[in-house]
Amino acid sequence: MRPPQIENLLEVVATLVEKGNFRFSEHAIQRRKERRISPQDAVYILKTGYHEKQKTSFDEIYKTWKYAIRGKTLDREDVRVIIPIVEKLIVITVIRLK
């Protein structure tokens, strides 16, 4: 059975980021480097982006929601950040969009 999605997602994300209760997975660190997206840009998107609901999905293996947060970097680049929230927020990947 799937748990419900977090209703006030952006508020929860902002609170976790402000408290430093997040981390980047090894995969996200690798993708960030490959795609030239700074940690500061990823955090900025988490704070200022919007919930891209059509890209949010349920991970059957880990039994958790993977939320898509989309926004602009400080240089106005369009980026999507994928996060589950499991005790803390985990950035699992970042994607530079064209």
Which CATH number does the domain housing residue 35 bear? 3.30.2310.40
pLDDT tens digits along 32-59: 999 999 999 999 999 999 999 999 999 9
pLDDT of residue 40: 95
Residue 24 lies in a domain: yes
Residue 2 lies in a domain: no
Using the structure block, give the residue that is written with the tokens 């999605």.
5
Residue 4 lies in a domain: no
pLDDT band at residue 86 using 50, 70 and 90 as cut-offs: confident
Strands 88-91 and 78-83: unpaired
What is the number of domains present in the chain?
1
- CA separation for the pair 71, 93 (Å, rounded): 14
Residue 92 lies in a domain: yes
Residue 3 lies in a domain: no
Judge whether residue 89 has pLDDT over 90.
no
- CA separation for the pair 98, 61 (Å, rounded): 30
- CA separation for the pair 94, 27 (Å, rounded): 9
Residue 59 lies in a domain: yes
